[in-house]
Amino acid sequence: MSVRSIVPFGPQHPVLPEPIHLDLVLEDEKVVEAVPSIGFVHRGLEKLVEKKDYQQYVYVAERICGICSFMHGMGYCEAVEHVMNVEIPPRAKYLRTIWCEMSRIHSHLLWLGLLADAFGFESLFMQSWRLREKILDMFEVSTGGRVIFSVNMIGGQRRDMDAQMLSMFSKVLDDMERELREISKTFLNDYAVQSRLKDVGFLTKEQAHELGAVGPFMRASGIALDSRKLGYAAYPDIDFEPITSQVGDSYARCDVRIREIFQSFDIIRQAIAKIPEGEVAVPVKGMPSGEHFMRVEQPRGEAIYYVKGNGTKFLDRVRVRTPTFANLPGMLETLKGCQLADVPILILTIDPCISCTER
């Protein structure tokens, strides 16, 4: 007869850069259930909106999570801009698109590295992060920061990119694309990697739908939804299709993310080719009054920003629904019935971001 035992996992654990705690209920080596307990990173950022005015809050919004910092800042700004009926200049929209896609590339490369680390492929880990440095350098020349950028503001962008910078970027992207092709061969074709990823952690299309999964986690199960298609920033002018896979295992999630990086290269190239001349910000007058829901596709999936203004400079409420939060039920489902040794990889395949989930 098998014995039930409970193994605590986290909050401090070698494969997790961030603290999350799971109680794994085991039957021999098999996980029967996983019970999460969170709250280690909770700071109470939403409440901070009562102490910082709506323009200062952009900096707080950016620090919801340092990986998608640009997108958090942008999502908040777009929501407030909708409330205040501000139309940002076209060039600012394109800049937002370029920086968004750069964030996606950097986030996915980071994830690939962590995944490689989780299955013990140290050199692949180093390679992915080495490649990621190029994106960080691009961020540094264009914004001045490596992870926190502070280029968003209500009404546009604080900085512009000149033609020279853009042409340099396309060159760097070409180099990166070539190198990524090499690295992705290992990720997708290597026997050892496949044996860790293939056929583990299935999530069917129905489950993904029922459990409300988002982002690459959902798209790897065959649902072609992407909030970029809703048309914020310059995405309406850009030609792209959501990337999906029909399989739904860990390998499919890896595959989808790698193809998304290539897609992001393509989107940046399109944006660089089409970017119009002009201003990058408009002056903003008045105070926000009214409410708005803004949906943004982050590297981990759809994030929702709710903003409610009351006509003073302090907003009534800011609410963020982050992609990892939506993916947790799906993750717990995939953990059921897996082997204990697969737990770190399965947790990683949703690309968890705890600091934005707990804020």
Partner 1 sequence: MKISKSPWIIHYDGSSCNGCDIEVLDSLMPKYDLERFGVVNTGNPKHADIFLVTGGINAQNKPVVQQIYSQMPFPKVVVAVGICACNGGIFKECYNILGGVDKAIPVDIYVPGCAARPEAIIDGVMKAVALLDKKREEMKKEAKEN
- Interface ranges with ligand SF4 (CB under 6 A): 63, 66, 148
Least Å from the CB of residue 12 to ligand SF4: 17
Q: Which of 147, 166, 172, 287 binds partner 1 (CB under 8 A)?
A: 147
60's contact among ligand SF4, partner 1, none, with CB below 5 to 8 A by partner kind, is partner 1
By CB under 8 A, is residue 41 in contact with partner 1? Answer: yes
- Binding residue count for partner 1, defined by CB under 8 A: 39
Which residue stretch of 127-135, 187-195, 249-257, 272-280 sits at the interface with partner 1 (rule: CB under 8 A)? 127-135
Ranked by CB distance to ligand SF4, the top (closest) residue is 63
Of 161-200, which residues contact partner 1 (CB under 8 A)? none
Least Å from the CB of residue 61 to ligand SF4: 12
By CB under 8 A, is residue 148 in contact with partner 1? Answer: yes
274's contact among ligand SF4, partner 1, none, with CB below 5 to 8 A by partner kind, is none
18's contact among partner 1, ligand SF4, none, with CB below 5 to 8 A by partner kind, is partner 1
**Rounded (10°) CA dihedral 181, 200, 41, 11:** -120
Question: What would the two tokens of residue 333 be?
Answer: 């489902």
By CB under 8 A, is residue 286 in contact with partner 1? Answer: no
317-330 b/e (C-beta count within 10 Å ≥ 16 → b): ebebebbbbbbbeb
- Residues forming beta bridges with residue 291, ordered by sequence position: 308
**5: exposed, middle or buried (Cβ count in 10 Å: 0-12, 13-18, 19+):** exposed
Q: Which of 31, 34, 60, 109 binds partner 1 (CB under 8 A)?
A: 60
Question: What would the two tokens of residue 119 be?
Answer: 């299955």
Question: What would the two tokens of residue 10 be?
Answer: 């986290």
Rounded distance between C-alpha atoms, residue 318 and residue 216, angstroms: 26
- 8 Å CB contact between 116 and 128: yes
> In sequence order, what E strands does the chain have?
4-9, 21-27, 30-37, 152-153, 156-157, 289-298, 301-310, 315-321
> Which is closer to ligand SF4, CB of 36 or CB of 66?
66
Least Å from the CB of residue 66 to ligand SF4: 5
181's contact among ligand SF4, partner 1, none, with CB below 5 to 8 A by partner kind, is none
Residue found by looking up tokens 């370029």 in the block: 98
- Other beta carbons within 10 angstroms of residue 12's beta carbon come to 8
- 8 Å CB contact between 151 and 98: no
Least Å from the CB of residue 148 to ligand SF4: 5
- Interface mask toward partner 1 for 2-21; x: CB under 8 A: ---------xxxxx-xxx--
Least Å from the CB of residue 342 to partner 1: 18
- 8 Å CB contact between 319 and 46: yes
- 8 Å CB contact between 172 and 298: no
Least Å from the CB of residue 328 to partner 1: 17
By CB under 8 A, is residue 283 in contact with partner 1? Answer: no
Q: Which of 273, 279, 225 is nearest to 93 (CA)?
A: 279
Distances in whole angstroms, Cα of residue 260 to Cα of each of 174, 210, 240:
16, 24, 10
> Which is closer to ligand SF4, CB of 63 or CB of 106?
63
By CB under 8 A, is residue 44 in contact with partner 1? Answer: yes
218's contact among partner 1, ligand SF4, none, with CB below 5 to 8 A by partner kind, is none
Contact footprint for partner 1 (CB under 8 A): 11-15, 17-19, 39-45, 47-48, 51, 59-60, 63-67, 69, 110, 126, 129-130, 133, 136, 145-148, 353, 355-356
